[in-house]
Amino acid sequence: MAASAAVVLGASGCTLFSPGNSAEEVPAGQGDAAGTADPAVIGDIDEDLRDFYTQEVRWEDCEEVFSCTTIEVPLDYDDPGRESIEITAIRSAATGDSQGTVLVNPGGPGGSGFNIVRDSIEYVTSDRLRENYDVLGFDPRGVNRSSPIQCYTDAEQDEARQESYPADASEEELLALISADAEEFASMCADRTGELLGFVDTRSAARDMDILRALVGDSSLNYLGFSYGTQLGATYADLFPERVGRLVLDGAIDPSLSNEEITLGQAVGFERAVRAYVADCQQEQDCPYAGTVDDGVGRIQELFASVEREPMTAADGREVPVSTFVQGFILPLYDNSNWPVLTQAVEDALEGDPTSMLYLADLSAERDPDGTYATNSTSAFLAVNCLDYPMASDPVQLRAEEEELVAASPTFGSFLAYGGLTCAPWAYPPVLEPAPLTAAGAAPIVVIGTTGDPATPYAWSTALAEQLESGVRVTWEGEGHTAYGRSNACIQDLVDDYFIDGTVPEDGTTC
């Protein structure tokens, strides 16, 4: 199964392909009062949605320095009068004169925008952006505080993460074991969540964002989306091109790709990343990967094979099977500044202690030391993807996919296979199909790609920028996942100038 790792969000120069002539400006959406009934703010909406767009919003002090609110949105946009669900948001007020609100999504699907603002706002946004804008984080439908998907208890999730399949199982036996676990999980989610499970797709979440936009009083949406957040933002732009204000999509997903194509792209990306990591490590005297890069990667593969044959036991007594071990290994590859942490965890594991690797896996799964899970990100990740993507579950096709994945990524490919089995028994069928998103008529949208991004390969950002009618491509030549907040002054200044002054970067700018 593919491991869902959290995005872990410095300065060098930048180079423009076409210097100068980048003074085009786009308007920032602004408004006066939350919950305003001003038609210019609400926009053209169906009459049966009016109550949602004009509901009274009560912001209350929360989390010491923020304000929080909960709003209502329709469970089913095709039948808005049927039932409502709740979306919880947190706002950081601008430190200066506010130009409006920037909505933030950290990715996933299943990532908590509430937590990213509460815990990491100074890391993922600049002082200058926070001076000029209110920053609003929200949990999308089904996530954490917003009518959450309910599948695992904390104890059940711990148990699942310690489960391992026999290393000597035949292919038929392995398929049967994975399918049985998938059926049990799907049944658990359906029983504990109910019909909400069928309405957490990305298109519905994007429509929720438009209600949030109106309720903060902005006539157009200003938005900063990372990773899966780019899919959410591009979907919004395609649904409401006339309401696009200033959108930055960082670490983009190509919406035209199938689930299988996305998995293959990530396999290639993480294989390239592990080679870059080993090459970097080998510049240090005490690196545990002797010889060539191939030799070093081979040692990692041998370590994975050893854990697959015989799961390890951490200091707290928990078993660490290879799936959890690999999840921990993958997390530091999201940010090259964390590569030394990964090296230390590998050195410990080579000496028989997987505790550091389990710690990294716990960070990825958002497990706190007391055994509780901070969010429901694992369940939400699967629930959204099962609605967003039709997935192959035929054994013949799955075997062919595994062969392709292993060929593309000898290190990680086998651990990314058979993901389609998870959604095969899902209680609700997919409601979306992969397709290009054009957002015809939208204001300029900035798409940022990182050349060494393992999770959302650079080619995906290029593809999205080309699909969007008004897409503007910006490149950061660096390692790790996403750019703004962790790259350099060039990226930060381009993004801030765009949000604050409306200055659109030159298409093709490289930092």
- % of the chain with per-residue pLDDT over 90: 88
Q: How far, rounded to the nearest angstrom, does the alpha carbon of residue 95 sit from its chain's CA centroid? A: 28
Tens digits of pLDDT across the chain (511 residues):
233 332 222 222 222 222 223 334 444 444 333 555 677 788 888 899 999 999 999 999 999 999 999 999 999 999 999 999 999 999 999 999 999 999 999 999 999 999 999 999 999 999 999 999 999 999 999 999 999 999 999 999 999 999 998 888 888 898 999 999 999 999 999 999 999 999 999 999 999 999 999 999 999 999 999 999 999 999 999 999 999 999 999 999 999 999 999 999 999 999 999 999 999 999 998 999 999 999 999 999 999 999 999 999 999 999 999 999 999 999 999 999 999 999 999 999 999 999 999 999 999 999 999 999 999 999 999 999 999 999 999 999 999 999 999 999 999 999 999 999 999 999 999 999 999 999 999 999 999 999 999 999 999 999 999 999 999 999 999 999 999 999 999 999 999 999 999 999 999 999 9
What span, in angstroms and rounded, lies between the C-alpha atoms of 453 and 253? Answer: 11
Alpha-carbon distances, residue 155 vs 165, 290, 355, 378, 474 (angstroms): 19, 40, 19, 14, 44
Marked catalytic residue, from 388, 453, 487, 496? 453
> What are the structural domains, with CATH classification, of the chain?
39-148+200-256+435-510 (3.40.50.1820), 150-198+259-433 (no CATH)
250 is catalytic: no
DSSP 358-397: HHHHHHHHTB-TTS-BS--HHHHHHHHHHHH------HHH
Structure tokens at 402: 């595994």
Evaluated on CA atoms 146, 147, 152, 153, the torsion sign reads positive
Structure tokens at 53: 């767009």
Q: What are φ and ψ of residue 275, in 5° steps?
A: -70, -40
User: What distance separates the 2 farthest-apart alpha carbons in the chain?
Assistant: 68
Q: What are φ and ψ of residue 78, in 5° steps?
A: -80, -15
Locus of tokens 């912001």 = 59
**Cα-Cα end-to-end distance for the chain:** 35
Structure tokens at 23: 């003074």
The per-residue pLDDT for range 302-334, each reduced to its tens digit, is 999 999 999 999 999 999 999 999 999 999 999
Structure tokens at 438: 């054009």
Residue 163's SS3 state is coil
481 is catalytic: yes
Marked catalytic residue, from 4, 146, 147, 227? 227
DSSP 278-326: HHHHTTSTT-S--SSHHHHHHHHHHHHHHHHHS-EE-TTS-EE-HHHHH
Check: CB of residue 73 under 8 Å from CB of residue 2. Answer: no
Structure tokens at 163: 């489960």
493 is catalytic: no
Marked catalytic residue, from 4, 201, 481, 496? 481
What span, in angstroms and rounded, lies between the C-alpha atoms of 467 and 479? Answer: 25
Alpha-carbon distances, residue 2 vs 159, 329, 424, 434 (angstroms): 18, 13, 15, 19
